[in-house]
Chain A
């Protein structure tokens, strides 16, 4: 990779606009979402009524349990419930 002139540098910089802020924030919140997911899974394993609520309406059950039903939590929980 050589021969960078100013025009080429500008052209290459244009190829990397920022991702939408909300997407970046959601990705940065993954560690917290992961911790919430672990707690929800533990509760679902121990509490049959909660498990039924999740199966009936996953997003509502997650919200009712006090967690943000983020796409990450919802998709991972759905995968886990399908696997059970």
Chain B
């Protein structure tokens, strides 16, 4: 199992100017911010890129204003949400759209993304090679063949490896639910 660092510990390292901590911060939350922009608000790619960069720029500048280090994920979600809404409003002045998501819809997507982040954290705890295999298959849509070639393992064994890895993640999630925390 990989040693997992909590969000609060990571934020604390960023504040202390720990070299490498900011890179880890961006690495940890980039998928989340990207998903809010693209799935939650369905921003076009160039708008999503602008919002993505602005979220991390503001996060970098204002991390010291965060009241509780544990609350970094909801803080980022709120920041991203606000910037996405600003971008949609700006666009609507030029080209009014009736397809922008409504608030309730966005709330639902954000709740689901929070669950996805919890699964992601469990996956990080399980570590490689499961993290790599599951990420390639589910997040990057790689075929069994591509995964097999990249990781130099027989492609005929990928399905069973995926199944075993999913079981490990499920056990990790169960452990977290029962309060045993990451192992």
Residues of chain A at the chain B interface (Cβ within 8 Å) = 1-2, 4-6, 9-10, 12-20, 23-24, 26-28, 30-31, 34, 71-72, 75-76
Residue B49 CB within 8 A of the other chain: yes
Residue B15 CB within 8 A of the other chain: no
A30 touches B169 (CB 8 A): no
B30 touches A27 (CB 8 A): yes
Distance to closest chain B CB from A19 (angstroms): 4
Select A4's contact among B39, B120, B138, B170, beta carbons within 8 Å.
Answer: B170
A27 touches B26 (CB 8 A): yes
Bound Cα distance A16, B116 (Å)? 7
Instruction: Give the residue name and chain of the B residue nearest to A13 (CB).
Output: B138
A10 touches B138 (CB 8 A): yes
Distance to closest chain A CB from B178 (angstroms): 10
Residue B3 CB within 8 A of the other chain: no
In the complex, number of A-B residue pairs with CB atoms less than 8 Å apart: 100
B173 touches A31 (CB 8 A): no
Binds A, one of B52-60, B82-90, B97-105, B147-155: B52-60
Q: Which of B39, B57, B177 has the most CB of A within 10 A?
A: B57
12 new A-B pairs (CB below 8 Å) besides A1-B115, A17-B31, A17-B139?
A4-B173, A5-B170, A10-B166, A12-B115, A15-B112, A16-B35, A18-B139, A23-B52, A27-B52, A27-B56, A34-B61, A72-B53
How many chain-B residues does the 8 Å CB contact rule pick out?
42
Select A16's contact among B52, B139, B170, beta carbons within 8 Å.
Answer: B139
Which residues of B31-87 are within 8 A (CB) of A?
31-35, 39, 49-50, 52-54, 56-57, 60-61
Contact A24:B26 (CB < 8 A) given known A4-B174, A17-B31: yes
Instruction: Give the residue name and chain of the B residue nearest to A15 (CB).
Output: B116
Q: Which are the 6 A-B pairs with shortest beta-carbon distances?
A: A19-B34, A27-B56, A13-B138, A6-B166, A12-B116, A16-B31
